[in-house]
Amino acid sequence: MIDIKNKNALVTGSSRGIGQQIALGLAEKGCHVIVHGRKPEHCEETLNLLKPYKVNTYTVHGELSEKEGIEMLIEQVNNLEISIDILYNNAAIMTSYREDFWDHLWEDWMESMKVNVLSVYKLCGAFMPKMIENGFGRVINLVSGIKDQPELLPYSASKWAASKISIDLAVKLEGTGVRINSLDPQWISTDLGGEFADHSVDEVLPGALEPAMIENDGPNGETFSAI
């Protein structure tokens, strides 16, 4: 495992839940952290939790279900004028559980694909070319091992698509020092995962950090498990 001290990491959806835990784990390793939430005030809790660590912290905001929100987030990050060495595409939504699994709304599908797939693709496109130019980068797309639940089909299908992004982009990274992989956090008790999940949110550490700390010739296009 490599040392990520003084690297810069952007973690989307890090105002709470799994993203917040990842931000804290990265800071503990000496990594500088860019916290993202839908609104600036949503980031305050994570920023307070990061205060004990001797790292630089930044905040960006933007609604990832809209093209304008994604572009605004990218612009804010670029305005920081720092390299993005590590990108965790963590932000995601889960639409309603529908007993009638033929009744998922058009809006369910569109929102799931915009946040869980298109934002992942756009953020990879915004920051990976510079990683390749710099000869270092780690991109981690959070996915899900959920299966056999058509009641949650827009969510599960969108997460499968996020995994496919990792797999297909990986073939373009050989010899670059940049790695892209997926991370399955498992069923975690969060606002999204619900209260009956198998694991508490703090259990994602340290496993969630592993794909950020692999060697330059390490796994590529693979799926890691946080637990």
For CA atoms 94, 192, 33, 223, give the dihedral sign. negative
- Amino acid, res. 40: P
> Is residue 155 annotated as a catalytic residue, yes or no?
yes
Question: CB neighbours of 43 closer than 8 A, spacing ≥ 6?
Answer: 14, 15, 35, 36, 37, 59, 61
Of 53, 58, 88, 155, the catalytic one is 155
Nearest to 17 by CA among 211, 199, 216: 199
- The residues that are catalytic are 155
